[in-house]
Amino acid sequence: MTFARIFARGCIGTRAPLVSVEVFISRGIPSLSMVGLPQTAVRESKDRVRSALLHAGFEFPKYRVVVNLGPADLPKEGGRYDLAIAIGLLAASQQIPTQDLERYEFIGELSLSGDIRSTNSVLPASLACQNANRLLILPYDNLNEARLCTSASNHGAKTLQEVCQYLAGTGLLYQAPYLPPLAQKYDKDMNEVQGQPFPRRALEIAAAGRHHLLMIGSPGSGKTMLAERLSSIQPSLTLEESFEIATLYSCKGLWDHTLWGQRPFRSPHHSSSSVALVGGGSKPMPGEISLAQHGVLFLDELPEFDRRAIEVLREPLESRSITLARAAYQITYPAAFQLVAAMNPCPCGYKDDPHRACECNPDIIARYRAKLSGPLLDRIDLQVRVPPIEYKVLLKHTTTSESSADIQVRVERAAQIQLLRQGCYNAQLSPKHFPTHAAMSEEATQFLLKAANRLYLSARGVHRVIRVGRTIADLNQSLNMTQQHLSEALAFRLD
């Protein structure tokens, strides 16, 4: 009778819990049974492991084999445990050295020929392995992702045979140095936008304070063009923010090294369901709001989205996180995204167009706007109309617009003021901190009170006006908010 214990890593949201792969070989009718709550893909690993061992030149034990994946109450799925199971079988059957195996953790899916295929959630596993002071052996194709951990010991392998040679001391595995975040680089620039001074100003304020933005305008007025260039003027990511984004993309299996250090821009189609937007499924996975972490979630043609899908955004807009509960467990994903939405003023799109008449009757327009609830609109700080552009302006190219680099200088400066003063962006400023971080003159206070009464602003609406006014003051490098700052903030709230 022989026994071996190998360590692997599971995948529960952004966590990578330790999984102990225990292999016990005893006399009896040749068989392999697997216990420990394995799901279909894990149960199928016995055939993949058998073929991989034979192709690598090893023998599959001709005895009774029991593989236990512990803890037993943790669901296991996918092919990420194949490599650990194979190493456990070889160690228990004494075909490879068994000393120092507790120093390692193994993840990777095996092909029938013994090649090691990539898997998802490698970055959380690498971080957890680093904290446990173990060395992680993983697929070669995931090595670039794992090297984002600054001091983790990660070794990549292409085949099962390479891993066995390394454990026997007769071969080496691949390593990759730490990869620092890439500098922000975008192929779309604000100098391509002609005219539109008011929407451009709203975009700058939104970038500086991380405020949510709604643009309303007729077709072809430039709403999508403006939204696609917001990322080019946003502040640079910190290392911690870059790591949070990379972890979420790793869990989803969407990681690419070109995303490292870049703010995400997600633009789901209006046919997307609520699960696609906020996440979910039998195994809860991050949705678009989490994949847009520290970046932009752009919802074009906002009223065309299913109303239930839009309404589920209300809570994440406030809490900047989403909790997905299932019978056995619950997972909380971060959702610190910046919502940018665009819509037409009416179904035909030409209600506010000075050159084309609107074909919609008032009832149709009312039903169209009723798709957006008051509580949702109340959570959007900036609401701006985007007027149509004269074709003469576009053809003459006489207007010289500021580039994204020029605007980003002001945005970065305003962002640094906020972070040094309060440790967060103005959009995240708590009302209890208003007296210290959003101080305003008595004249400005009285002005805001009169405006709130006249415009019937809710308490949330008043707080959002204060936050936007604080961002405008920071862009102007003003210590206190004035009536002028609040007046401009109110101009970005449509009645």
DSSP 117: E
Mean pLDDT of 323-332: 83
For the chain, the first-to-last Cα distance in angstroms comes to: 78
User: Does the pLDDT at position 334 exceed 90?
Assistant: yes
pLDDT at 493: 83
**Domain limits of the chain?**
2-167, 190-424, 429-495
pLDDT at 185: 78
Q: How far is CA 212 from CA 25, 339, 346, 372, 388, in A?
A: 60, 5, 21, 15, 22
Q: Do the domains 429-495 and 190-424 match in fold?
A: no
Cβ distance 345 to 372 under 8 Å?
no
Q: 239 or 398: whose pLDDT is higher? A: 239
Mean pLDDT of 161-190: 87
CATH topology of domain 190-424: Rossmann fold (3.40.50)
CATH number given to 429-495: 1.10.8.60
Q: What is the pLDDT of residues 249-282, one digit of tens each?
A: 999 989 888 888 899 999 999 999 999 999 988 7
User: Does the pLDDT at position 399 exceed 60?
Assistant: no
Least trusted range by pLDDT, from 35-44, 215-224, 473-482: 35-44
pLDDT at 220: 87
User: Does the pLDDT at position 184 exceed 80?
Assistant: no
User: Does the pLDDT at position 192 exceed 80?
Assistant: yes
Q: How far is CA 477 from CA 163, 204, 382, 418, 473, in A?
A: 58, 14, 20, 11, 6
Q: How many CB atoms are closer than 10 A to CB 118?
A: 17
Determine the Cα–Cα distance for residues 106 and 119; give it in Å rounded to an integer.
Answer: 12
| 3-class SS of residue 446 | helix
Mean pLDDT of 187-209: 92
pLDDT at 301: 93
pLDDT > 90: what percent of the chain? 67
pTM of the model: 0.91
The most confident of 333-342, 370-379, 435-444, by mean pLDDT: 333-342
CATH number given to 2-167: 3.30.230.10
Q: What is the pLDDT of residues 71-117, one digit of tens each?
A: 988 888 889 999 999 999 999 999 999 888 999 999 999 999 999 99
Query: Would you place residue 447 in the very low, low, confident or very high pLDDT band (cuts 50, 70, 90)?
Result: very high
